[in-house]
Amino acid sequence: MSRPIPSVPLVSFALLFALAPVRAQENAPVAMIGGEAVTLAELEASVETQLEELERQRHRVLEDAVGPLVERRLVELEAAQRELTPDELLDAEVTAKLVPASDADVSAWFEQNKSRLMPDSTEEQFADQIRSAIERDRVQALYGAFLRQLRDKHDVQILFEPLRLEIDLSSATWKGNESAPVTLVEFSDFQCPACKGFNPVLDRLLERYPEEVRVAFLQNPLRSIHPKAQRAAEAALCARDGGKFWELHDEMFRDQQRLDPEGLKVAARKVGLDGE
């Protein structure tokens, strides 16, 4: 039975062709005021933030879609080479290899997870659902393993670039290997409890991947909810001038209750600064 041709790509091409003339005429007028033109470029500049967000959404949709599209094409290619339909191929490589969940599997699952159920729940109540869940997981595992084989066999390369935001790091303070291929950008606030909690995670990452990862620290004091954060950020920048940024960084996160002027002076003296 022949499959219908998907309509979405055709719609996409139609939109591209429809938009092309508009994109080519950025200086075209979209309005006139006293005989003076308001151009498309000016219109776009007035909603630049919204357009950027739309472009990010578009990119995320495409990024999420490229994997499933490649998987479908792989199955179709392999099926054609074996002179099977895609459904017949998946039946042979996935469905036929499924080991049904036994009563012992169901009992084991129930024992491991019964603390998440209501106290009076019984295995009999949930047996069918548990069995279905186990078999669903097994199907996914078989399908994933089959796709990995197909990717290796057919030399799959994903060339679609992930979305990368341009961030101005000229004011950042750095930690880690300067030539590391991965840069983690931290927007942080010295009065923020979550930032304090995340700080040890960054330290462990740098310890585990000393050659692969570096951190760029950017000040982001949330003045509306953290009134002491601005002064702490200024203190950190002064400490950077004295070569003690990370020492004061750690000290301020260690005791977030002492970010008042006197507490900052004490912290500065602790790390070897003059405290003034």
Q: Write down the mean pLDDT value for the chain.
A: 90
* 189 and 231 in a common domain: yes
Nearest to 1 by CA among 74, 86, 68: 86
**Bridge partner residues of 185 (DSSP):** 216
Between β-strands 182-188 and 213-219, what pairing exists: parallel, antiparallel or unpaired? Answer: parallel
- pLDDT band for 177, please (50, 70, 90 cuts): very high
* 265 and 218 in a common domain: yes
CA dihedral 231, 237, 241, 243 (to 10 degrees): 100
More confident: 165 or 101:
101
Nearest to 173 by CA among 124, 117, 123, 214: 214
Of 145-149, 165-169, 212-216, 244-248, the poorest mean pLDDT is in 165-169
* 266 and 210 in a common domain: yes
pLDDT of residue 87 exceeding 60: yes
Q: How many CB atoms lie within 10 A of CB 94?
A: 19
**Cβ-Cβ contacts under 8 Å for 269 (sequence gap 6 or more):** 275
Question: Domains in the chain: how many in total?
Answer: 3
Proportion of the chain above pLDDT 70, given as a percent: 91
* 70 and 86 in a common domain: no
Residues 206-224: tens digit of each pLDDT: 999 999 999 999 999 999 9
Q: Please, what sign has the CA dihedral across residues 81, 84, 85, 87?
A: negative
pTM over 0.95: no
Q: Looking at the domain assignment, is residue 3 inside a domain?
A: no
pLDDT of residue 13 exceeding 50: no
Residues 105-128: tens digit of each pLDDT: 999 999 999 888 888 889 999 999
Q: How many CB atoms lie within 10 A of CB 13?
A: 10
Range of the domain at 122: 82-153
